[in-house]
Amino acid sequence: MRFKEKVVLITGGSTGIGRATALAFAREGASVMIGDVDNSAAEVVQTIVAAGGVAYFQRCNVSDGAQVDDLVQQCVGRFGGLHAAFNNAGILPTTKLFHEADGDEFDRVIAVDVKGVFNAMKAEIRHMLNNGGGAIVNTASVAGVIADPGMAAYVAAKHAVVGLTKAAAIEYARNDIRVNAIAPGLVDTPMTSRWLADPAFREMFFAASPIGRAAKPEEIAGTVLHLCSDAASFTNGQIAIIDGGQTSH
């Protein structure tokens, strides 16, 4: 029960990594606030409550700063505080070569994957500055430390998340606010289902992967909880790569 009497805010908590992390925080005693544009996040809340936990869902488009500000205010008002945040909301563009990429789609990826994290961090930090600090974890990707073909917008966005994480980490370390990011490799989630359903992609990727499989969302959640816990009290500005060895060669 590492998070008993703690309040955690999660964006993008309806499916995949966000869902698994919300359930894991709740199992360890946290009150969980979920912000998402996907109403299926309500099912995650129902699952938590049915197991005896405490959770609430508020619809929120993270690209809209006013909605994010309200999400944080509602979290604090409902649960009495905010001790940790997992900024996980994101979208994945279609795979296209750089010269064929769509400008409008690029803008959408930046609006959600970069500005969404920026909006969330601003609102969370403003609260934490006046309330004893806290821990923030952002979802980057291995695409934030390497590049893959056909993924220019996503690579740009996730590199930006890495930069935002480091910038905030050095600015607020002496305010007892720690900011880190996770960089997952391929994870079996609804967002990656189109890749994993492609036999050619599976054969190519798994042949090159040291571990030879995709991660389960629960295998990513554990790192998020660690980074938000007191056990990681000296971990700040770091990018935790969770990729089964993909980037090690």
The label of the residue with tokens 């690209």 reads 63
**Cα dihedral value 40, 70, 138, 211, nearest 10:** 0
Q: Residue 199 to residues 2, 169, 195, 203: CA-CA distances in angstroms?
A: 41, 41, 8, 6
Q: How far is CA 136 from the centre of its chain?
A: 10
Q: How many CB atoms lie within 10 A of CB 29?
A: 14
Q: What whole-number distance in Å separates Cα of residue 141 and Cα of residue 125?
A: 22
Listed as own residue / partner, the contacts of 158-167 with beta carbons closer than 8 Å and 24 or more positions apart are: 158/113, 158/183, 160/110, 160/113, 160/114, 161/113, 161/114, 161/117, 162/239, 164/114, 164/117, 164/118, 164/121, 164/138, 165/138, 165/140, 165/237, 165/239, 166/237
Catalytic site residue 56?
no
- Find the catalytic residue in 154, 158, 159, 185: 154
Q: Whole-angstrom distance between the N-terminal and C-terminal Cα of the chain?
A: 37
- What amino acid is encoded at 131 in this protein? N
Q: What letter does residue 178 receive in the DSSP assignment?
A: E
Q: What letter does residue 76 receive in the DSSP assignment?
A: H
Catalytic site residues? 154
